Amino acid sequence: MFSANKNLISTMPLNFSDSLHHEREQASKADIFYRERLKVSNIIRFNSDSETDLEMQLKDVDVLLTHNKTTYRVSEKFRNVDYRDLYFEVYSKYPKTQGWLHAGSPNAILYFTPSAVYWIKHKSLWDFCLPIFFPLISVT
Q: What is the distance, to the nearest Å, from the Cα of residue 136 to the centroid of all Cα atoms in its chain? A: 23
Residue 139 lies in a domain: no
pLDDT at 4 over 50: no
The CATH number covering residue 99 comes to 3.40.1350
pLDDT in tens, 41-98: 999 999 888 999 998 988 889 999 999 999 999 998 888 888 888 877 787 778 888 8
Residue 13 lies in a domain: yes
Q: What is the predicted pLDDT for the residue at 7?
A: 40
Q: What is the predicted pLDDT for the residue at 6?
A: 42
Average pLDDT for the chain:
82
Residue 114 lies in a domain: yes
Residue 60 lies in a domain: yes
Its domain, for residue 43, covers: 2-134
End-to-end CA distance of the chain: 12
CB 115 within 8 A of CB 82: yes
Mean of pLDDT values over 24-43: 92
Q: What is the predicted pLDDT for the residue at 5?
A: 39
pLDDT-above-70 percentage for the chain:
84
Mean of pLDDT values over 1-10: 39
Residues 6+ apart with CB under 8 A from 107: 72, 73, 74, 121, 122, 123
Domain total for the chain? 1
Residue 57 lies in a domain: yes
Q: What is the predicted pLDDT for the residue at 106?
A: 85
CB 63 within 8 A of CB 108: no
CA distances from 137 to 5, 29, 63, 127 (A): 10, 36, 32, 16
Residue 140 lies in a domain: no
Q: What is the predicted pLDDT for the residue at 20?
A: 63
